């Protein structure tokens, strides 16, 4: 699989204040979207997330988001190394994603920019 980059997940109490900080640090403008009850702002390599603790507690278990060329290829490679696909692949507003638990227990989200699912 081609890994194109990674994004770090940061849970914050005040999304607006965090966005201002991370925009200044990265020089990038935030792209905001909603994921369930969680408000998300993508700023550079960071995903800032704010919302109900019940939803954030699940999201905190995912170590990072990994951008890949194709989620289907990621599924094949992850399965080949013994990873468990926990969720997906699913269509999202910006592409497709899946959640996988690696054999060592680490949990990652994999995303592509493909519009079909």
**How high is the mean pLDDT of the chain?**
91
Of 51, 115, 99, nearest to 41 by C-alpha is: 51
Whether 82 and 65 have beta carbons less than 8 Å apart is answered as no
45 in helix, strand or coil? Answer: coil
Tokens at residue 111, please?
Answer: 């995303």
Instruction: Look at residue 116 and tell me whether its pLDDT is greater than 70.
Output: no
Instruction: Tell me, yes or no, whether 84 lies in a domain.
Output: yes
pTM score, whole prediction: 0.81
Domain CATH for 95: 3.10.180.10
Q: How many domains does the chain have?
A: 1
Question: For residue 92, what pLDDT is reported?
Answer: 78
Domain residues for 8? 3-112
| pLDDT tens for each residue of 56-109 | 998 899 999 999 999 999 999 999 999 999 998 998 777 899 999 999 999 999
Work out the pLDDT band at 115, boundaries 50, 70, 90.
Answer: low
Domain assignment present for residue 68? The answer is yes
pLDDT tens per residue across span 29-70: 999 988 889 999 999 999 999 999 999 998 899 999 999 999
117 lies in a domain?
A: no
In a domain, 44, yes or no: yes
User: Is position 9 within any domain?
Assistant: yes
Residue 113 pLDDT > 90, yes or no?
A: no
**Residue 104 contacts by C-beta under 8 Å, 6 or more apart in sequence?**
none
Residue 114, pLDDT above cutoff 90: no
pLDDT of the residue at 117: 41
């Amino acid at each position: 699989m081609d890994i194109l980059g990674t994004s770090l997940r940061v849970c914050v109490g005040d999304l607006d204040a965090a966005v201002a900080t991370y925009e200044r640090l990265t020089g990038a403008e935030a792209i905001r979207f909603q994921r369930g009850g969680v408000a998300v702002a993508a700023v550079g390599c960071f995903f800032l997330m704010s919302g109900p603790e019940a939803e954030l507690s699940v999201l905190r278990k995912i170590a990072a988001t990994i951008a890949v060329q194709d989620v289907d290829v990621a599924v094949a490679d992850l399965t080949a190394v013994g990873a468990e696909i926990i969720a997906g692949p699913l269509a999202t507003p910006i592409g497709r994603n899946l959640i996988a638990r690696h054999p060592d227990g680490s949990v990652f989200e994999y995303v592509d920019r493909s519009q079909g699912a």
